[in-house]
Structure 1
Amino acid sequence: MLAGIAELNFTQPTAVQQLVLAPALDGQDVAGQAPTGSGKTAAYGLAVLQQVDPTSATVQAVVLVPARELVLQVRDALKSLGKHMPNLRVAGYYGGHAMREEVKGLQQMPHVVVATPGRMLDHLERRTIIPNRLKVLVLDEADKLLDLGFQEEMATIVSRLPVRRQTLLFSATMPDKVLTLVREYLTKPRVMNVGGSNATTLPESLVLRGHVVNAADQKPAALYHLITRPDAGRSLVFANTRDRVEELTRFLKGRGLAAEALHGKMLQPERDKSMMKLRNGSATVLVATDVAARGLDVNELDTVVQFDPPHEAETFQHRAGRTARAGAVGTAHLLVTPYEQQKIQNWPSAASVQWAGIRPPALPTALPKPPRPSTVTLHISAGKREKISAGDLVGAFVSVGGLERDAVGRIEVFDHYSFVAVPETMAEEILEKMQGAKVKGKKVKVALVR
């Protein structure tokens, strides 16, 4: 465990880790309220992994989260923390792909399961997961689990778990419905608010700016102006509907920006592709509905823009908190009409917004040359099911593709395909060399992700 922490360069505990770790390691139930980006995954992850016995082929911990993206994020975080624990198995299960793939993988029972409630209940009903040796249950993003209507599934899941267990619950906010959950599922819990007495705490390093336009039709030009500033960096833009997401993505692409869309009606491979391109830098803008407000973990996300105002204060907080995570500096912008401003400025979570009118410059008639991403993403037609690892891909891109090891960018390996980021200037040359190449003895197809 200590080797994993050292490798991640964790030297000082965050506030949530300082409060949560001691009682959680002591076996107590914990209900923790913590702002986004506060390090709570490591807080409960360390406590969970400390209790796991990798020599026992049983499910010993279950982590329930509200979204597929969060399943992947938490699974990968726990794997990194437990990297040096011999034979540790951490698995993630979620809807949107074939159940048979997950059942096949369960021939080797994982020690820790991270899952959405619906898919976890499917496995319990099929008896592909039997949690009779469970030690710990974690409910992460509890407020969102309830907002998405998972109350009934969670109640059924909890009824099938051993009564003698530890339960850890975390939530960005603590409305009455979450406190009811605490009373029902936790035993004599330690209740702690890492954000202090104010339930709407946002990271101190986050700058909130509100831009008031005279009319809604000025918003696209204002958005373009904000995300093409030299200091905008990597940007996440929120819209309230998937039609608006598609419309804004087309608008930004038409202006020469490397923009991607993310919404709930996209197939999982498409969502994986959009997320991957933002994470590895081959997209500079992601336009998303609130499906991305939870579980989106992107390093160096500099800017958030709320193009459409959220309907609730909680949503405003979750959106803004996607940047300035873990002490990094970030800016969250809101684009509003005067009518929309009247509603938002009364929210406690918006008290620190710096409001100003904006008259965006006219959009240029000639297509400008915005900053191009330095990397592009390549799709490889093999993944975990073909026993391909990130190390195998690095080896192939170095030996066959002619890349220096340091030039190989972010790699993500999925069940049947993988993504590799490479320098944009060398992409065509690498594509040519990699056609028909073999990775771990298997011939693969390599294509540019557009």
Structure 2
Amino acid sequence: MDEDLATSTDAGFAGLGLRPELLRALSDLGYEEPTPIQREAITPLVAGHDLVGQAATGTGKTAAFALPLLQSLPTGGTDGPAALVLVPTRELAEQVSQAVHRYGRDLNVRVLPVYGGQPISRQLQVLRRGVDVVVGTPGRILDHIERDTLRLDGIRTVVLDEADEMLDMGFAEDIEAILAGTPAERQTVLFSATMPPRIDAIARRHLREPLRIRMGRDTAAADALPSVRQSTYLVARAHKTAALGRVLDVEMPGAAIVFCRTREEVEEVTESLNGRGYRAEALHGGLSQDQRDRVMGRLRGGSTELLVATDVAARGLDVEQLTHVINFTVPSAPEAYVHRIGRVGRAGRTGAAITLAEPREQRLLKAIERLTGQRIVVEKLPTVTDLRARRLELVRTTVQEAMAADDLDRFRSVLDSLIEEADLEQVALAGLKLLHEANGGDVDEPEIPSAMPLRDREPRRNEARGPAGGGPGPDRYGDKRWARNRGAVTRVFVGLGRRAGLRPQDLVGAIAGEAGLPARDVGAIQITDRFALVEVPEAEADRVIRALSHSTIRGRRPTVRRDRPNR
């Protein structure tokens, strides 16, 4: 599921001038409403304008450029690629490539992700057969250009996605070289989470009278934010469904809305919750009005306890019984978060807003915090032990409430007969055991792995960054401040040097792209004629060595190992 594309009605996308094949693909995928960046960007891009967009990850920018890009592809295919998308990492290359493939499936679009760490022979085979869209990291794209295996003369559209991240990773020279090889009459699109002067300089040099879009704050929505308990759990995507069940088991909401991004996701989550024993109902744009009314009637009547819904289907809902809003996925726009959690905490009532976020979505959570001016507390996912304790607490609370009832005398004869055979404590414990088992009993399920939070990838601009950020290169070698901030560090030997054309940005880009280590965590770099040394955190050293050992840098696969102490 494309995390960048929020739900939308078919009418919403149809009004943006997209061709029928794209609208059909969006409808089949269950998307129901364009995000703000999509509404602002798609129409001018379809019209052929250049565009600079300031938007963070998760706001829908992938679809904002991918749909117009597909719209402009020539019919009947081309000899070489017609569109080129530059991204900072292999993970993003794969995500964008998958999104382009899904949206363009009825157009038979041929898309190829290109990045280091993948056998170049496979990429060469696909390029020889012909592709329409190439999505790749600057280093590997430039490698293909230098090999004369990637032709740019037929490029109609170039997209720079997460441009600030690419510059932070040292790809500025590569980007300039790639753009210089594309036709001057191309359409150029630039998206960036931040707009430092160097991004603006690229826009001035390479874009023609671009339209500028910035996704700003919805201050009115932020001011209307209710006073509710806001928290988030960091969960890997593969474990989100299990995590949702665990959170619901511990929270035990009276009634809750679980927000999902697409119809397909709504159906999957609803089926999972019902399988766990909850009474859950789906609510999305694919239901008729009569079906929606019946679902809402059951929720208000108490026969349904969980409503699993898309944003568009849940608009305007005011259910007095709601105690929780749970975001199964982080909302695509910060404003959507405000509108979602506004369903609870009304008229002085208490409520909770819980978000299940993947580690890479923390930047979007920070954007929500900036909009609302309130902190979203990152909490540890409940363990099996926590759930067992919660169920025992439920037993205690249930018994306390029963003790306050005035109709207990009718059970006295049963108690009297039981205490003739056993003492009162044993009778009470047996009763508690039966009640506990009726509430689900002992938990026998695996622990959900913890997702480690990512470090903030946006360094302070006055922090020494070494070659990746334009600061000093070898001068940072032995920088005690950097080492103190990162803990223990290790020097990694890379068997390529100046004779192979190796540059600091090549190393930073390879480490960030292949090993997933943020560029700011790459330490001092020293390049000699025949080899290079680079500092990385000790805890990440083995992962970096494994990743680089299977990667191609400057067209070669280098020897990579820990540096020998006597070097």
Give the alignment's TM-score, normalised by structure 1: 0.49
Question: Which has the larger strand fraction?
Answer: 1
Question: Which has the larger helix fraction?
Answer: 2
Q: Greater Rg, structure 1 or structure 2?
A: 2
